[in-house]
Amino acid sequence: MKHLVALLCLVALCAGSAIPLIPGDNSHYVEGESRYIWMPDGEGVPHLVDLHEPVDEAVLNSRNGANNQYWLFTRNNPTSAQVIVHGNANTIWNSQYRAARPLKVIVHGWNNNGNTAMNPQITAAFLAVLDANVIVVDWRALAGSSYNTAVAGVPSVGQHLGNFLIWLINTAGGNWNQVHLVGFSLGAHVVGNAGRTAGGRPARVTGLDPAGPQWGGNANALNRNSGIYVESIHTDGRLLGIFDPISDADFYPNGGRNPQPGCLISTCSHGRATELFASTVQFNRHVGRRCGNIWEAELSSCTGATLNMGNSIIGKRGTGLYGLLTGRTWPF
């Protein structure tokens, strides 16, 4: 009997440490047990990540949140970024920033940067429906390092972003009731930390498939204290994304898991959250129904009260779990 138990433990250990061979296919992954997982870069190309890789302390210390760049886009400069430098007020006065406008902040995830497709797509969607200040946060210096090192650096990136926003509003004006933070994957946890650094004052915080690996039970994860109203859109739950509800309102399009319609692999389903959000901003037609529990959400069998997923409405409020179905291609 002892030999059988030992054999079963060995099999489980090998399964958890086995290197998956099909790029982007995370069907092998067991949360908290598997060592390897595929994660997409900014172009959607899968990269194999070793979740046991040690944090590179030298990189972490040299590429922390002080390296964040803040790129401003408005209707006056919708595609040409104006860089605002934290502590340099002249970079605000010489920009198109206007205190009376709503402020939208977008934060990318691991192995991405400010030019990654999600940023211009969401920026364009916001500017199509709002005369807003849109700031894209480029934290590529740390996001381009190993996954575990980037995870360890998320609090610093978020704290620097939160302090930047405090400085921006104190220096050039603005209204916390008009601030909306949006983050994808690791970026969702970045905006969570930023919102808490700002005392939970941002009116709205949106997490787009908040990253799952290394974030279960992590006190630095996005949570309900990050803003007045916090929501998450889950598209690759239990794989690259967190599946459990962590926000005031949690949306589970198509069950919140892989495969999303039109996707064959986990990395596609993970990135789908950014596309769905951009569509909801521009068209605001994806309506969730409240679920009695997470199993109903996974089955998309929810029949309760309605709440629109995503969109740009700063005063949006809601609580609970919401399920809905979407299409396979834009605008879904």
Q: Return the active site residues.
A: 185, 209, 270
* Secondary structure string (H, E, C) spanning the chain: CHHHHHHHHHHHHHHHHCCCCCCCCCCCCCCCCCCEEEEECCCCCEEEEECCCCCCHHHHHHCCHHHCEEEEEECCEEEEEEEECCCCCHHHHCCCCCCCCCEEEEECCCCCCCCCCHHHHHHHHHHHHCCCEEEEEECHHHHCCCHHHHHHHHHHHHHHHHHHHHHHHHHHCCCHHHEEEEEECHHHHHHHHHHHHCCCCCCEEEEECCECCCCCCCCCCCCHHHCCEEEEECCCECCCECCCCCCCEEEEEHHHCCCCCCCCCHHHHHHHHHHHHHHHHHHCCCEEEECCCHHHHHHCCCCCCEEECCCCCCCCCCCEEEEECCCCCCCC
